[in-house]
Structure 1
Amino acid sequence: MCAVKAPPSYGYAFVTAHRFLPSGPLTGRIRVPGDKSISHRALMFGALAVGRSRISGLLEGEDVLATAAALRAMGATIERTGEDWVVDGVGVGGLLQPEQALDMGNSGTSTRLLMGLIASHGITAAFTGDASLSKRPMGRVIDPLSTMGASFTPSPGGTLPLIMEGMQPAVPIAYRLPVASAQVKSAVLLAGLNTPGITTVIEPVPTRDHTERMLGGFGAKLEVEEKDGERVIRIHGPADLNPCDIVVPGDPSSAAFFAVAASIVPGSDLVIENVGLNPTRDGVFRVLAQMGANIEKLDERDVGGEPVADLRVRHAKLRGIEVDPAIAPSMIDEFPVLFIAAALADGTTETTGLEELRVKESDRLSAMAEALKLAGANVEETDDGLGIEGTAGQPLPGGSPIATHLDHRIAMSMAIAGLVSRDGVEIDSIEPIATSFPNFTALLNEAAK
């Protein structure tokens, strides 16, 4: 239950389990959970290293725990010790045949990256997931991994449940990404870890580079260059990974919800500590700044090879803009909450080039268009984006019930919309939030008290 306190002008003093009501200013200092993308990879690379890795700041959401469970099923020892997680790896090539199907829950990242790991091991694995994950396409990963020698028996439409058989030795390939996808890139690179020779991935559009950064830290031989306007990544296999101590910075995707909230709730002055600002992930903060947001970087530093800072965010009058589609890969998961900022801005915000949002946990374009309209926003949906006419800072009317489609980012985005509504916003479920941000409502209460 989110017991967000309302200012006297609104007159609300209670919330129901799924209703988020108008909020007073967000103030003080908060710390969001560890970065989900980095947490997944830290567990995977630790499981493939020879020796013990220690991870601090790991995101303990359901998606990351699904990755840990799958790696345990294939022989790695993964335990929580105090505030840290300890991983005793099996070495590249040492994954064992899992005795049961690997249940991925709601995590597309777990599924696609683990398929890459298994593709170059001589084992067979079955993947299952919840109703949302079972609708998401896996063909974009199946295609290159099949070329490397793995075989797949998916459900009709190329979805889960599926069974895959790895190939050892696999065949090195040079693969040009047909769509900008860090998951596909990472799956091919992870398969290349246990593949003799050089496996190459060519990115016409750069995507988040946590895999490349962390593989280098674990000792893999990796080369990255810019060639003819494209990014070329080569990994040499088979690799020997060394154990590492990893510090996971705060997740910029999680921080984005509070950055938007503090920007649009009058009187807010909030510091979000320890936010990862990898340039392939910080697009949402750059776009908010273009809209007039007041975001100040404090104590900029490097943590485990990743740029990090504390962000001070103060309320500001936002203006509608035309968002450059080239920035989409660096903020693809943050567009749902950016749409909330757009709904409160002065003028119209136009977004294009967002076809990728239609194959996430839900069709996020349609889901957010429907949700925003129910909350009283003026929204036009196109094939590849949304056009949103803002209220110039006036509260949204609010509405209920709003369908989350089992999508954690829809749920959290509409919770933020509730903070700047007249009557509150009710969502059909807060359960999906646990996949990536278990203490989301608790932090909202802390910031808005």
Structure 2
Amino acid sequence: MFDNLTDRLEQSFKMLKGQGMITEINVAETLKDIRRALLDADVNFKIAKQFTDDVKEKALGQQVLTAVKPGQLMVKIVKDELTQLMGGETAEIELTGSPSVILMAGLQGSGKTTFSGKLANMLKRKKGRHPLLVAGDVYRPAAIDQLKVVGEQIDVPVYTEDGNKDPVKIAKAAIKEAKTKGHDVVIIDTAGRLAIDEQMMKEISSIKNAVEPDEILFVVDAMTGQDAVNTAKEFNDTLDFDGVVLTKLDGDTRGGAALSIRSVVEKPIKFVGTGEKMDAVDVFHPTRMADRILGMGDVVSLVEKAQEQFDEGEARKLQKKLAKNTFNFDDFLKQINQIKKMGDLKDVVSMIPGMGKAMKNMDLDDDAFKHIEAIIHSMTPEERENPAVINGSRRKRIANGSGTNIQEVNRLLKQFAETRKMMKAVSQGKNVQRMMGGMKQPGRRF
């Protein structure tokens, strides 16, 4: 996500390296490169030009403090302008109705059905809501079955009507059903088309008028760049929607939609989809996204993801084990599972300042731990509890059982011993800088 844009912006800022002050000449060169970077990211030309004009105006009006280098000042100005370009403030969804009704809109293939499930899951887990999903797409083959599968995955009921091809009547009946059964949120998944057409717009307008939703969310595939922005404008002219959802932001997207859509439709981006899993959705924070685009990471979001998986009771048990140096491979597996639950591994790592670029060319995905897990699962309960009993013959058996080799088993055992030693030192408040400096780099597989 935004990898190419991040690299190009970093190169642009390097033009000011070694400069003693900001001048119209060096700023012009820097901004020329920034504008190219934005255009390469599929940002609308007028928006890119206005953006660099605003940055230039602020940069030339700044007095550079002796403690701040021109390049650093330019990064701050660009960050502030990127934040404003993407909306400035975080926009929450409004759920005031009884029940609250959320209407999904967008083209076919944008990810409406999957996002409907993700949003229901988020509201259920984080807000304590009781959502009802509504299958309002009566045209696409298997659309209703897909929503049923999604509902089963997150344990949220799905309202359907066999034989009824009128989405307006289905939506109205679903709201009545929600009131009867105590659902406080109704999420209506509507039909999409391969392209915008009059029938599609008339139908979704009829649904809007019939159910008077609290929120209308326009779901768009971030991979489609400027096409997404143009589609958003046409939908907004008809529906006057409340916010945008960018899906597939974890893919090979150049970022143009995220950077342009707010300026074109003057509606906030409210959510972003970052993977296939039902919990792979985030509230959109313009400031945090600007940080990530500029390679600064996103520590706040990382902490929030960690807190979602945090179990206070388990943490106390782990603390005691670390202090007594009894942390074992079963505990290690639990920690791996918690990390995996935080979301796409590459996305999580990119939130750590400086790590996104370092991990750019690494094949880092959910299978990154599979060799470690295979080795641990090939151990007996006794071996996982007390790794010291693992001798030569046991190592050979573990390697055969896990589909690895003895060298990989040895490497894991060595790294585990070093990790346990370091974690014990951390738990006791010791300075571990020297210890970490002496540790060897991890092996190629783990």
Is the TM-score greater than 0.5? no
**Structure 2 length normalisation: TM-score?**
0.27
Bigger radius of gyration among the two = 2
Select the structure that is richer in strand: 1
**RCO higher in structure (CA 8 A, sep ≥6):** 1
**Structure 1 length normalisation: TM-score?**
0.27
Select the structure that is richer in helix: 2
